[in-house]
């Protein structure tokens, strides 16, 4: 049964695949951990979301479960990337910055002094 | 007295949300499923509503629903736009990134609103919330376009915060 929804579904699945690929490429090309977290977790939010949206078009019976999956990704993704970034900073991994802009440094230093 | 009714509201709100999730996942009308869902979600809600929500049904106020809707639209537009920006950076042969960690002060008051803002900033590509101390956000920014605090605030958070203030702080 080929309808407009089938084509929309394929379109969104393909779009999602492209964004996921760009996320992977970003992980390979970026200079340090923080920028890699950015590329790896973010390009994949839109990638995963449009992939799931495409599946919802192809299999209309599943849309409630797929919607919950999208919401779950939207809630858990920022938490995990925040945890990775903050954890690496606590382990003294300095971010790569051409212009040496690092506002978080002073917070960590003041904590060190308190110890 | 007011506090007690609010507690009940929060409990019922939690129960309702959990039940919706349960029924969305089971997608069946068999009586056993319905009764199990009713009891189990009620038990979970009874123990967890205190940490689940501070707002309860007041989130369903029509004015709030309108602004939540507006917020989702603004957020989706920002998500798509910034995804395309990051995609361009990744595909560019010279990889034109200019990363750094910047900070700005937020004028939001409630903790929940701050959490929503932090998560929104993280979800839009190019910006990543590293830490949140009181009302100062520390953001790792993939491609810095401004360096003074007002400009940073304007570029990252202003659009979202305008609406969040209307939803949570009024």
- Partnered with residue B88 across adjacent β-strands are none
Cβ neighbours of B83 in A, within 8 Å:
19, 42-43, 45-46
pLDDT value of residue B114: 84
Structure tokens at B44: 């979970």
Count chain A–chain B contacts defined by CB atoms under 8 A.
125
B99 and B16: one domain?
no
What ipTM was reported for this prediction? 0.76
Measured in angstroms, the CA of A92 and the nearest CA of chain B are apart by: 14
B152-168 burial by CB neighbour count: b if 16+ within 10 A, else e? bbebbbebbbebbbbbb
Q: Tell me which chain A residue has its CA closest to the CA of residue B94.
A: A29
B102 and B121: one domain?
yes
> Could you tell me which residues come within 8 angstroms of residue A11 by beta carbon, excluding any fewer than 6 positions away?
A54
Beta-carbon separation of B138 and A107 below 8 A: yes
Domain that includes residue B157, residue range: 61-168
B70 and B153: one domain?
yes
Domain that includes residue A85, residue range: 4-114
Portion of chain A with pLDDT greater than 90, in percent = 3
**Other Cβ atoms closer than 10 A to B32:** 8
Cβ neighbours of A74 in B, within 8 Å:
123
Place of tokens 């003041």: A110
Q: Express each pLDDT in B13-49 by its tens digit.
A: 888 888 888 887 787 778 888 888 888 888 888 888 7
B21 and B77: one domain?
no
SS3 A74: helix
Angle between helices A63-90 and B111-123 (to 10 degrees): 90
Beta-carbon separation of B102 and A101 below 8 A: yes
Q: Tell me which chain A residue has its CA closest to the CA of residue B79.
A: A46
Chain B contact for A94, CB < 8 A?
Answer: no
B86 and B135: one domain?
yes
Q: Tell me which chain A residue has its CA closest to the CA of residue B119.
A: A78
Cβ neighbours of A65 in B, within 8 Å:
24-25, 27
B82-107 burial by CB neighbour count: b if 16+ within 10 A, else e? bbeebbebbeeeeeebebbbbbbebe
Q: Which residue has the higher pLDDT, B111 or A106?
A: B111
**Other Cβ atoms closer than 10 A to A55:** 17
B67 and B122: one domain?
yes
Structure tokens at B108: 């939001």
pLDDT tops 80 at residue A23: yes
Beta-carbon separation of B119 and A45 below 8 A: no
B46 and B106: one domain?
no
Domain count along chain A: 1
**Other Cβ atoms closer than 10 A to A19:** 25
Rounded distance, CA B151 to CA B158, Å?
10
Q: Express each pLDDT in A77-108 by its tens digit.
A: 888 888 888 888 888 777 777 666 677 777 76
B48 and B81: one domain?
no
B19 and B78: one domain?
no
Nearest-Å Rg of the Cα atoms of chain A is: 19
Nearest beta carbon to residue B90 from set A22, A68, A75: A22
Portion of chain B with pLDDT greater than 70, in percent = 92
Which region holds residue B68: left if phi is over 0, alpha if psi is between -120 and 50, else beta? alpha
pLDDT band for position A115 (cuts 50, 70, 90): low
B10 and B87: one domain?
no
pLDDT band for position B2 (cuts 50, 70, 90): very low
Domain count along chain B: 2
pLDDT value of residue B5: 57
Q: Express each pLDDT in B69-85 by its tens digit.
A: 888 888 888 888 888 88
Cβ neighbours of A67 in B, within 8 Å:
24
B47 and B94: one domain?
no
In this structure, what are the phi and psi dihedrals at residue B140, rounded to the nearest 5 degrees? -85, 125
B66 and B21: one domain?
no
**Other Cβ atoms closer than 10 A to B128:** 29
């Amino acid at each position: 049964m080929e309808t407009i929804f089938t084509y929309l579904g394929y379109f969104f699945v393909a779009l999602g695949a492209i964004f996921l690929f760009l996320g992977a490429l970003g992980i390979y090309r970026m200079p340090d951990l923080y920028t890699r977290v950015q590329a790896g977790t973010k390009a994949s939010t839109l990638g995963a979301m449009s992939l799931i949206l495409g599946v919802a078009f192809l299999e209309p019976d599943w849309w409630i479960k797929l919607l919950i999956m999208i919401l779950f990704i939207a809630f858990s993704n920022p938490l995990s990337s925040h945890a990775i970034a903050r954890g690496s900073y606590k382990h003294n991994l300095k971010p790569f910055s051409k212009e040496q802009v690092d506002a978080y440094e002073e917070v960590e230093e003041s904590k060190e002094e308190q110890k | 007295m007011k506090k007690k009714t609010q507690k009940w509201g929060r409990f019922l709100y939690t129960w309702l949300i959990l039940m919706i999730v349960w029924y969305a996942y089971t997608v069946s009308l068999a009586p056993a499923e319905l009764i199990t869902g009713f009891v189990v979600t009620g038990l979970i809600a009874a123990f967890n509503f205190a940490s689940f929500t501070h707002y309860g049904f007041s989130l369903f106020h029509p004015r709030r629903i309108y602004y939540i809707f507006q917020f989702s639209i603004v957020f989706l537009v920002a998500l798509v736009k910034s995804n395309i920006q990051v995609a361009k950076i990744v595909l560019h042969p010279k990889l034109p990134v200019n990363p750094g960690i910047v900070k700005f002060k937020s004028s939001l008051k409630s903790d929940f609103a701050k959490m929503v803002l932090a998560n929104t900033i993280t979800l839009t590509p190019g910006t990543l919330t590293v830490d949140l101390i009181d009302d100062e956000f520390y953001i790792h920014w993939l491609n810095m376009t401004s360096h003074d605090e007002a400009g940073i605030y304007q570029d990252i958070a202003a659009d979202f915060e305008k609406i969040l203030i209307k939803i949570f702080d009024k």
